[in-house]
Amino acid sequence: MKVFELAEDGEIIKDKFVMHHLHENPVVKPEDIGLTWEEGGEVKKGAVFNGGAVLHENKIYLLPRCHKNYTRIKFYDEKLGIERYGFENYVSRVYVLESEDGIRFRKSGITIEGKTPDFSYGIEDIRITPYHDIYILTGCGKVKPPFKGTGGDRVAFYKTGNFREIEYCGIISLFDSRNAIPFFHNGKHYIFMRFHPDIYLFPLFDFSPVFSPKEHEDTWKKLYQEKEKYLLIKAGELPHEREKIGPGTPPIFTEEGILFIYHAVGSIEKEIAEIYGIEPQERCYSVCCALLDPENPWKIKARGVYPVYVPSHPYELEGNEKYPVDVPNVIFPVGCVVKDKKAVLYCGAGDRYVVVLSFDVDKLVKYLLEHGKR
């Protein structure tokens, strides 16, 4: 498969691991899948980004959130005390894309609309978890219009066996959350969750609360009430994680432990910026990682002191005429496919495109054990 032929191992520069960035990026652009419209005699382009990914029947399936017919605006975020970009008429749908080579994608004809009796303002950022002979799709269902206040995010679950028929399971209605990732390892069930600004890891007896969340509200309520027992990684301990962190891709299982990829928002200081050939950034997303103990994943064997990738191309930074962005300084890991120890990450870039990063799993694990924080 071409994407694995193009994927490289990543490199260590000045004691910092840097994931490989494919020359073919961005691999999916809005115009590639018909996310365009005409307005005032001008052709406008939408957005395709933040897609979960999986290798199924010799194809890579990618499930990005997709938007069109929206207007970009600026608003003042009182919580952060800064101006940010927002959008009017913004409703997320998830397209099911497929590819034989992992680089060139086409629409399969299946769309997750994000309109259910539980929520009706879109679905975003789906992660794909293999589980026995099915896949669990976990996204963010919007119970309020995006950018119209807070508290509108709910964890939403779907399942599929073939990506042609997708069944809605329900939402966790009790609390505001996003970026959840269930996973199964060594006979045990878990789910990563983000309660702003930190990452939590909850144990589950089985996946009944995932497949029937409404029927298991007591389970979710108890976990939420006791959530501080399950704190995994706290934001603010490192400059690039100063504002917030959140689960990224489903975990990668290795002989040394569970490799956990997550995203962070904070500042990118000079010593990191110089490696990527960019200026220091006050507010920037980045890709980060940690190695968790396989028997007790709340025990962190090693955690990266530095990000393993930061935005460094126009479509990840401020954009340009060829590649305008909707939100600057964004790289957002959501999908991960591993083959023969080579991992490819499908990431959102600039809230507008899909890019691929790659690394050798053993090389990154070894780096974490030698250079990571314990």
Q: How confident is the model at residue 193 (pLDDT cuts 50, 70, 90)?
A: very high
SS3 content of the chain, % helix, strand, coil (to 5): 15, 50, 35
Residue 326 near residue 31, CB atoms below 8 Å: no
User: Whole-structure pTM over 0.95, yes or no?
Assistant: yes
The Cα 357–Cα 359 span in angstroms is: 7
Omega within 30 of 0 (cis) for the link into 130: no
The Cα 160–Cα 107 span in angstroms is: 17
Domain CATH code at residue 78: 2.115.10.20
Quote the pLDDT of residue 183.
98
**Per-residue pLDDT reduced to its tens digit, 137-182:** 999 999 999 988 889 999 999 999 999 999 999 999 999 999 999 9
The DSSP element (H or E) to which 77 belongs, if any, is: strand 71-77
**SS3 of residue 156 by DSSP:** strand
Report which residue type is found at 55: L
Number of domains in the chain: 1
What average pLDDT does the segment 331-346 reach? 97
State percent of the chain over pLDDT 70.
100
Instruction: Identify the domain containing residue 264 by its residue range.
Output: 2-20+27-371
**Per-residue pLDDT reduced to its tens digit, 1-54:** 999 999 999 999 999 999 999 999 999 999 999 999 998 889 999 999 999 999
Report which residue type is found at 38: E
The Cα 246–Cα 200 span in angstroms is: 9
**Per-residue pLDDT reduced to its tens digit, 283-323:** 999 999 999 999 999 999 999 999 999 999 999 999 999 99
Omega within 30 of 0 (cis) for the link into 203: no
**Per-residue pLDDT reduced to its tens digit, 347-373:** 999 999 999 999 999 999 999 999 998
Report which residue type is found at 367: Y
State the residue for tokens 């959350």. 177
Residue 141 near residue 171, CB atoms below 8 Å: yes
